[in-house]
Amino acid sequence: MSQAVLIAVGIDWDGRRQILAVEMPNRESRSAWRDFLVGLKKKSLWSMRQPQRSPKPLS
């Protein structure tokens, strides 16, 4: 018998992969993926953005 494993991987500012979440649902299904992604969103992982950069000064 096989087991589904859902894994979310992100890239940090140095270009390294980081495991964000791992879950072993009863089966790989649309609802399992939805619940997995909703869980990431609740952890605020979905809303991470690049930091604002100040504009270059005019020379």
**pLDDT at position 15 over 60:** yes
Tell me the mean pLDDT in the region 3-26: 90
- Asked whether 33 and 54 are in contact (CB, 8 A), the reply is no
When the pLDDT of each residue in the chain is averaged and rounded to a whole number, the result is 79
pLDDT number for residue 9 = 92
The number of distinct structural domains making up the chain is 1
Residue 48 lies inside a defined structural domain of this protein: no
Q: What is the 3-state secondary structure (H, E, C) of the chain?
A: CCCCCEEEEEECCCCCEEEEEEECCCCCCHHHHHHHHHHHHHCCCCCCCCCCCCCCCCC
- Asked whether 7 and 22 are in contact (CB, 8 A), the reply is yes
Q: List the domain range (segments joined by +) for residue 17.
A: 6-42
Residue of higher predicted confidence among 43 and 51: 43
Cut 0.75: pTM above it: no
